Structure 1
């Protein structure tokens, strides 16, 4: 049955321009008997500087800028060679085949009505644009809806106030104050409408806080509504932390999880008409906190449930900022932690504990997914998670996971109170005059989509160039057996140019083309914020400045190669990332996205009173106009006038005089 809130119509609300006018006055001008003066500063003859204020706003917009690490001493070589093999058959350690949707997003269930849309008919346009950017490059987008809030989420037929989601703020759980949720089926119709527009695929979470009274409605409705757009159902979110989060008794072990997972499998099998899909469960999704994956595998988990498992998964953050936010754990100093994210060993060390599990997954014929990750748990770090350094880190970390045979990774998205969001909508009370904020790690997902493309045939290898120096890593991407792209990193910050390096790419058993195309991910420093980040010359802009579309002219650089010497010299700035396209086929999809990406107009507004819009360029060059023959009036909704200009100006002058008098009186009283 088609849901009544199917795809929204093309016509959306228009912005209403509210004119200013005074009431028509036939008699004497009547003025208010009281004037309120807000935020008036006292009049004084001297001024003094106060202490620098600390930022107290939402974490997502924190302006903290850290110092970049010092230039390494000694410097790694600034000129080195990279030799590729002409055929993937000669490459040792090549990954499994990957796709451009490798890096997706994990959106906390409790914020989907802010990020995705208000309901199935009102979708967030900037979000659609952001997903369209990925879809055009990768062919599809993968999103996980879940997190801690999935564990207590309950599907209900409807909510009294017409909302699709509500939080129970009076019964918070976990050390991170997680609210229980109730949601309606319209959430799932909203997801499917997004899929229809931008080819998005979904992972959903089954509530697992009470396995004696399983709530499986999300399975039934999710499968019925989403169909092939449902990739899988996560069973349990970080079960190895259940004891610490007070969700299970202190004796809870991997064997207990094994048994509870079996209870759910049996419940689904008992009602095949309600739950027809048999092989789409995702587990164990541990955080590698108190358990290792091997502790779960040792229970016989995979062979026991292989027919029910769609994929194996873990969740992991390399660090945490929980002490600063919740007073738990150990204190962390962001400035001290910053260098840990700015070299190749960071991604390697995160991935290393899972290398055995990716091999086990392949042997079992299962995908292995990093279902939730980001810079640090409990919201990330100010100055790290929202810096250009984080963009380089997430990009390198993502490629390292792909090289290590993960099949996907989801960057987590929280609310306004976290630093690491790939994208953040403005607070609701600012949505009429502020746009979205695009975090640095969204650029990482965008670039990875171009690294792998949409062929589903890309394989990646870590090249360990420059004597495996940790500040200058590189990867090669092979497509259909041939070298297609090269990814080059420079983690060093050095404005002098002395740390810019040149990598000379050659092909063993083949010849380099006469020229190659290069795209750069750039910023002045690893400490730079979003307003200074560009991908191939384009940007999403500063805080509160994006509608989800790249701005600026595409900068696709051409580098001439020496076919006689069989080398292509590629310069990589400090800091920066370069993606080298070795053939026209490797470039074709990426080269056309600036003109082919489907985008959505932002003509929908949530407030239609007092929303005057003036083009900034017009305002900047305007000399103003005389008020002699103009009508002025109230900005309050419902007040209007068509008074003659002279009467209006008389009233305006009277109000101005009275206001000025009040200011002077207040100023004298404060002096």
Structure 2
């Protein structure tokens, strides 16, 4: 033993000379224990749009303000209500994930080593992933073997409320995607030079079969069902591998295949030569099954496509009809196209009921046509503004209210689903954002305001797939206080109440009194509130008293105690009074709410092995080394040679000498 200790000392010092060491309580440094648990706040190290700190001014209280008391007279049975929507699934709000960021969100590749992100390691493959009647087994250390735990948790939240989650993989980056057998180091996707003809200059995606195993593994944990986008830039070579592998590996988890992403913009993006119109698109469309189209964005109307015979020509192959639409754009600051939209001036446009109503009106004819054709009608991609959204709007509590209201209005307008778009670090509107790979050992995920919209919508519609919704137009159809009623299994089940006004005085809080015809109110109801201090805030949003945290703090699990409010009703008067703060949203449950117990997933791969040594500051402060109270870190990357890194050499030498003293004393004690 005495001989081994000097050898151990030398080997440890050699490692200390070449590897990073984490010190507890070091200023400006996140603390990582051996398990990779974050226990101290880290400074922001990026100004990417996803972490933008812009806070806008909330609009003033309307003049005159909305009435603060009104009555909603509701029917107990759906059969007595005219104008109810079609049955809406709990999966109504899904996510549209840009193909180029799929592995950043879903997997963390680390070449078979322990990773610096919270991930679920499937390397042992003790769990057999069942896809339809086939078993999928991956035994390699590839991207499909490392699934991001925060994503699994975020999807599980939706799954527990809705029964499943729908995700679309595609967007502009699907158009030039192509398959290869392998990529360097076992990656599932790679990217190459951007399409400079597209205003957002999105890259082409190169993918391997491992992408589909990754998707299948996620489905096995969280019951995700997928829409996949087919490359459509070259009609002489559709590159159908993406369809073949999706069908073979995803099986029943594959919902449908999108053919053409915003084809009405193809000539603008130089993907087709002029003239190219809806008739040309219809001719090119019909090569596959489970098809979704036309996914036009507004340059063509859907009717331009229906008039070509699109639906009758492809009725047997169509899974769903689709459109894509954003209410406005923020392209000018980044891409120097379109016109400039001042976020502060745009903000009020998102903070009233008129927005969602106006966005849905152009599609009412198409949703009726879809019902006649017995096809779902989908909003396949949407969010607050194209080209990444607005700072201060897209990531605010106001956006959470707007997206939820817009979603419920789409459901009332007989859409069957809507996909909230998810991009990379350079957009403001993400429902959730993974940290950059080189910062994943320091930071957790970041939640976006509209994720709360999707979470709440899942509870609005529930798991039965029988919910039908109606816009109540109460309070004299006031645009700042919209309300909806939800009927489930033919009976009144829930009421949704909005208040878009920000008023810290409480003077614009309102009380909606519910009364029921053909029945009576229950003795009590339960209410969940979506709340924040202002429509402008972004870091203190709560749903039923719980929050996911703020920037770089999200592991996908709700934090704090659940707060479900019980309100006693007056059964003799057949009334129930529900208060709604300004701003806020209330979901009123007239029947017993099903208990929600979200399954969360463990992390079995924790940190890169370079960051597993820890020394408590109390021990280090009393050693012969420096205290570490004013150390300056140079880099989070191994091998960095910056001047900042050189400035840290003296403290590191002090630490090494201090550690040498401790170990030398230990070594000598073993020889005495």
1:298-318, CA deviations, whole angstroms, 9 ceiling, x for partnerless residues? Answer: 001100110110000000000
Cα drift, residue 605 of structure 1: 3.2
Question: Counterpart of 1:250?
Answer: 274
Question: Counterpart of 1:538?
Answer: 546
Give distance in 2, aligned partners of 1:162 and 1:341.
Answer: 44
Give distance in 2, aligned partners of 1:122 and 1:24.
Answer: 31
- How many equivalent residue pairs? 574
Question: Counterpart of 1:627?
Answer: 622
Question: Counterpart of 1:292?
Answer: 301
Give distance in 2, aligned partners of 1:549 and 1:602.
Answer: 13
SS for the counterpart of 2:660 is coil
Question: Counterpart of 2:508?
Answer: 499
Contact 2:194 2:201 in 1 (8 A): no
Aligned pairs for 1:154-233 (under 5 A) are: 154-169=178-193, 172-233=196-257
Cα drift, residue 180 of structure 1: 1.2
When the two structures are superposed, what TM-score results if normalisation uses the length of structure 2? 0.82
Q: Which of residues 141, 144, 150 is equivalent to 2:168?
A: 144
Question: Counterpart of 1:600?
Answer: 601
2:578 is equivalent to residue 570 of structure 1: yes
Question: Counterpart of 1:120?
Answer: 144
Question: Counterpart of 1:643?
Answer: 660
Question: Counterpart of 1:326?
Answer: 335
Question: Counterpart of 1:351?
Answer: 360
Question: Counterpart of 1:89?
Answer: 79
Q: Specify whether residues 413 and 613 from structure 1 end up closer, same or farther in structure 2 by C-alpha distance, changes over 3 A only.
A: farther
Question: Counterpart of 1:110?
Answer: 100
CA RMSD of aligned residues (A): 2.7
Give distance in 1, aligned partners of 2:625 and 2:425.
Answer: 43
1:163-214, CA deviations, whole angstroms, 9 ceiling, x for partnerless residues? Answer: 1111113654411111111100100110011000000000000100000122
Cα drift, residue 344 of structure 1: 0.3
Contact 1:173 1:179 in 2 (8 A): no
SS for the counterpart of 1:123 is strand
Q: Specify whether residues 178 and 90 from structure 1 end up closer, same or farther in structure 2 by C-alpha distance, changes over 3 A only.
A: same
Q: Which of residues 59, 62, 70 is equivalent to 2:60?
A: 70
Q: Which of residues 541, 547, 551 is equivalent to 2:555?
A: 547
SS for the counterpart of 1:260 is helix
1:625-645, CA deviations, whole angstroms, 9 ceiling, x for partnerless residues? Answer: 761589999969x98997344
Question: Counterpart of 2:462?
Answer: 453
Give distance in 2, aligned partners of 1:147 and 1:326.
Answer: 18
Question: Counterpart of 1:37?
Answer: none
1:48-104, CA deviations, whole angstroms, 9 ceiling, x for partnerless residues? Answer: xxxxxx998100000000000010000111000011101101111100111111000
Give distance in 1, aligned partners of 2:407 and 2:460.
Answer: 11
Contact 2:326 2:385 in 1 (8 A): yes
1:21-61, CA deviations, whole angstroms, 9 ceiling, x for partnerless residues? Answer: 997999xxxxxxxxxxxxxxxxxxxxxxxxxxx99810000
Give distance in 2, aligned partners of 1:170 and 1:524.
Answer: 41
SS for the counterpart of 2:528 is strand
Q: Specify whether residues 570 and 409 from structure 1 end up closer, same or farther in structure 2 by C-alpha distance, changes over 3 A only.
A: same
Cα drift, residue 158 of structure 1: 1.2
Q: Which of residues 410, 419, 422 is equivalent to 1:401?
A: 410
Question: Counterpart of 2:116?
Answer: none
Give distance in 1, aligned partners of 2:185 and 2:656.
Answer: 30
Give distance in 2, aligned partners of 1:613 and 1:80.
Answer: 61
Structure 2 stretches of 5 or more lacking a match? Answer: 1-7, 14-43, 109-142, 628-649, 667-672
Contact 1:153 1:180 in 2 (8 A): yes
SS for the counterpart of 1:168 is strand
Contact 2:625 2:656 in 1 (8 A): no
Q: Which of residues 134, 145, 153 is equivalent to 1:129?
A: 153
Contact 1:24 1:644 in 2 (8 A): no
Cα drift, residue 414 of structure 1: 0.1
2:407 is equivalent to residue 386 of structure 1: no
Structure 1 stretches of 5 or more lacking a match? Answer: 1-20, 27-53, 269-277, 650-671
When the two structures are superposed, what TM-score results if normalisation uses the length of structure 1? 0.82
Give distance in 1, aligned partners of 2:437 and 2:193.
Answer: 18
